[in-house]
Amino acid sequence: MTERTLSHRQRAATLLPVSLLLLVLLPLLLMPLAAIYIFAGSGGWQTFVTSLSQPDAQFSLRFSLLIAFSTALLNAVLGTFAAYVLSKYRFRGREALSVIVNLPVAIPTVVVGTSLLLLWGPIGLLGKFLDPLGIQPMFAPAGVLLAHLFVTFPYMLGAVKPVLDELEVTYEEAAYTIGASRWQTFRFVLLPALRGGLFSGTLLTFAHSLGEFGATVLVSGNLRLRTQTAPLYIFAQFEAGNIEAANAVAAVLATLSFTLFFILLRMTQQPRRSAE
């Protein structure tokens, strides 16, 4: 009898905070997300498919994915390299560099876009000299890629560097004494240890790139069929009042992001479980 009341009370004790949390989360996170799907489906399946099969919608999705793939791939290499240097080498200014490298998280993406324009744009500091040569990275896919690399760089670094930091120096040294070259050590000893971090970093980068807006809107020139990414397409269509078109792409983008997030979650939980 007492046992039952106790468990009852216990259940009530957990119920309260959980329902409170749900109450907060519902309007904050869940309902807006649901709205996207509800609106996307409101016009019926046919409207959804038509909206999605518009050439510019298709383009924006493909372009976004391509940019996200390239960003993730490039940043996996760059970020790992940066993490390796920052973690394994001791040099003057290392601390400062660590801060600088993480700066893109702190500055608004719109500022990133502006700064890129002011550097590479036709009237920018460097672009000024490139423009006459016919090299124009801004308002072109290259500019979008550049902006995305810049904005997502810290995520890759943040995923990889702690893993590297945690590895004792002797871990590498052990490989050296065994006879492994620097490359072999990296390939067979460090990289496998980094796998988890690398994977989650890549996914994070990918997801961020897929959703990037602030910097992209400035550096892309927002050209349909040329540089318009999916988020830009959504925004443009929404502003123009084509809510169905906007929502169709938004729903696809949201689904993609959910999937990625889900995989990320599973992946980060897996090694912990097997380690137990």
Partner 1 sequence: MRSLQINWYSLLKRAFLWSIFLGLGLYAAWPWLPGVGAKHPRAIVVYGFSILGEVMNQGIFPAFQAEWLARSGEKIEFVSSFSGSGTITNQIILGVPAQVAILSLELDALRLVDNHVLAGPTWHDLPYEGVLNRTPFIILVRSDNPKGIASFADLAQPGVEVVHPDPLTSGGAQWAILAEYGSVTLNGGSPEEAYAQLLGIWRNVVAQASSARAARTQFENGFGDALITYEQEAVWDLGRGKLNALIVYPESTILGEHTVVMIDKNISPAERDLVEAFVEFLWSETAQRIFVEYGFRSVDETLNAANPNFGVIAKPFTVKDLGGWVNARDEIINAIWKQKVLPEVGR
Partner 2 sequence: MSIVLTDLTKWFDNNLVVNKVSLEVTDGELFVLLGGSGSGKSTILRLIAGLSIPSSGRIELNGRDVTFLPVQSRGVGFVFQNYSVFRHMTVGENIEFGLRIRKAHLKERRQRTEELLDLVGLAGLGARYAHQLSGGQQQRVALARALAYYPDVLLLDEPFGALDVKIRAQLRTSLKEIQRQLHVTTILVTHDQEEAFELADRIGVIERGHLIEVGAPQELYHHPCSEYVATFVGGGNVLIGREEQGFIRLGDARLPFPPGAPVHDPGSPVRILFRPETVSIQTEPFSEAQKIHILSQGQIVKRIFTGSSQRVLLEVENLEGMRPLASRPEYGQRVTHIEALQPSDASNALDRAWEPGSKLWIGLKQFHVLEPVSLKVLISSESAFTQESAAQFGCQVARTAGGNATVVSVVNSAAEAARRREDLETLRQSWISDLPHLETRVRQGDFNTEIVHEVQEGHYELVVLESHKGGLMPSSLGQQSTVRRLLAASEAAVLLVRKPHPRLERLLICTATGEPGKSDVLFGARIARRANIPTTVFHVLSPQASPVDRRRVERHLSQAQISLNGMGVENTIKIAEGPVMETIVGEIERGGYDLVVIGAPNLFISRPISRPDLAAQIINHAERPVLIVPMIQ
Which residues in this chain contact partner 2 in the complex, by CB under 8 A? 168, 170-171, 173-181, 184, 188-189, 192-193, 195, 275
- CB of 180: closest distance to partner 2 in angstroms? 5
Q: Which is nearer to partner 2, 4 or 90 (CB)?
A: 90
Q: Which is nearer to partner 1, 70 or 102 (CB)?
A: 70
DSSP the chain: -HHHHHHHHHHHHHHHHHHHHHHHHIIIIIHHHHHHHHHHHHTHHHHHHHHHHSHHHHHHHHHHHHHHHHHHHHHHHHHHHHHHHHHH---TTHHHHHHHHTHHHHS-HHHHHHHHHHHHSTTSTTHHHHGGGT---TTSHHHHHHHHHHHHHHHHHHHHHHHHHHS-HHHHHHHHHHT--HHHIIIIIIHHHHHHHHHHHHHHHHHHHHH--HHHHHHSTT-TTTT--HHHHHHHHHHTT-HHHHHHHHHHHHHHHHHHHHHHHHHHHHHHHHH-
- CB of 125: closest distance to partner 1 in angstroms? 13
Q: Which does 168 bind (CB under 5 to 8 A by kind): partner 2, partner 1, none?
A: partner 2
Q: How far apart are CA 157 and CA 82, in angstroms?
A: 7
Q: Which is nearer to partner 2, 132 or 179 (CB)?
A: 179
Q: How far apart are CA 70 and CA 73, in angstroms?
A: 5
Q: Which is nearer to partner 1, 75 or 228 (CB)?
A: 228
Residues within the interface to partner 1 (CB under 8 A)? 59, 61-66, 69, 117, 121-123, 127, 131, 136, 138-139, 221-226, 228, 236, 238-241, 256, 259, 263
Q: Which does 192 bind (CB under 5 to 8 A by kind): partner 2, partner 1, none?
A: partner 2
Q: Which of 149, 163, 155 is nearest to 74 (CA)?
A: 149
- CB of 75: closest distance to partner 1 in angstroms? 16
Q: Which does 179 bind (CB under 5 to 8 A by kind): partner 1, partner 2, none?
A: partner 2
- CB of 46: closest distance to partner 1 in angstroms? 19
Q: Which is nearer to partner 2, 93 or 179 (CB)?
A: 179
Q: Which does 86 bind (CB under 5 to 8 A by kind): partner 2, partner 1, none?
A: none
Q: Which does 122 bind (CB under 5 to 8 A by kind): partner 1, partner 2, none?
A: partner 1
CB-based burial of residue 149 (10 Å sphere; 0-12 exposed, 13-18 middle, 19+ buried)?
Answer: buried
Q: Which is nearer to partner 2, 2 or 177 (CB)?
A: 177
Q: Which does 221 bind (CB under 5 to 8 A by kind): partner 1, partner 2, none?
A: partner 1
Q: Which does 62 bind (CB under 5 to 8 A by kind): partner 2, partner 1, none?
A: partner 1
- CB of 118: closest distance to partner 1 in angstroms? 9
Residue 173: its H or E element:
helix 169-178
